[in-house]
Structure 1
Amino acid sequence: MTINPVLIKSSFALVEPHGTAVTGYFYEHLFEHHPAVRGLFAEHVDEQRDRLWAALGALVEHLEDTGTLLGLLRDLGARHAGYGALVDHFPAVGGSLLATLEHHAGDAWTEEVEASWTALYGVVADTMGQALTAARQQG
């Protein structure tokens, strides 16, 4: 699978007008399908929804600037170590992210779009996971 920046950006442009409904749907999906992760989050996830939305925007914005993108992901991964996140949580997050994007993209969500987002999330999970693991080992 390869990341197609055109598909990522065009599908995100369709999702973007839904704003906070996107992140609200994500957390509902995540907590419903993976209730074990609920304890990692504050009771009210309003601030976390804003952070997620900003991270998604930055991911798409810097998609073709590999150095900046990887730096952002490494920083996120290191920070998530402090939140108690585990690499084992990444598949659940990725599944909920894809379900959320599909829900909000509607008919524009094709196999090609899904494959591109899946490939991108693979990079996200790998990069953040390595940084999370390194931060835990350091301490």
Structure 2
Amino acid sequence: MTLDPVLVKRSFAAVAPHGPVVAEYFYRHLFEHDPALRGLFAEHLDEQQDRLFAALGALVTHLEDTDTALGLLRDLGTRHAAHGALVEHFPAVGASLLATLAHYAGDEWTPETEAAWTAVYAVVSDTMGAALTEARSA
């Protein structure tokens, strides 16, 4: 897997104009494929959807600024620990993220783009997972 910032940024640029519906699709997909995760979230997801899209945008923006990107992910992992998230949830979240990006990226979604996003999500899950685990054990 190769983390290719150009492919990630190009595909996210194709996804971004869809705005809030991207996050709606993500959560719908996530809860359809792992209904047990629904209980971790508030009944109304408007604010959560905004935060998800903002976090994705920040990650993509800072993808080549490793210190900033990893700091964002560590902070997210720590905050997710307080909401009952577990490392075991990350594969379902990753699958829903990739499905959502593929749905909205259109022609920008290629096997190479999927590989690039898979590499990004590996960093996301490793970094957030480590911070989440550390926060839960503190």
TM-score of the pair, normalised by structure 2: 0.99
Look up the match of 2:20: 20
The whole-number CA distance in structure 1 between the counterparts of 2:126 and 2:2 is: 15
Distance 2:13 2:21 in 1: 14
Identical-pair percentage: 73
Match of 1:4 in 2: 4
Note the C-alpha offset of 1:132.
0.1
Q: Show CA shifts across 1:18-62 (max 9, x none).
A: 000100000000011110100000011100000001000000000
> Where does residue 80 of structure 2 map in the other structure?
80
Contact 2:10-2:108 within 8 A present in 1 as well: no
Superposed displacement of residue 108, structure 1: 2.0
Pairwise CA RMSD of aligned residues?
0.5
1:1-139 → structure 2 map (5 Å cutoff) = 1-138=1-138
Q: Which runs of 5 or more structure 2 residues have no equivalent in the other structure? A: none
Runs of at least 4 residues off by over 4 Å: none
Instruction: Tell me the distance in 2 between the aligned counterparts of 1:67 and 1:107.
Output: 31
The TM-score with structure 1 as length reference comes to 0.98
Counterpart residue identity of residue 102, structure 2: E
Q: Which runs of 5+ in 1 are unaligned?
A: none
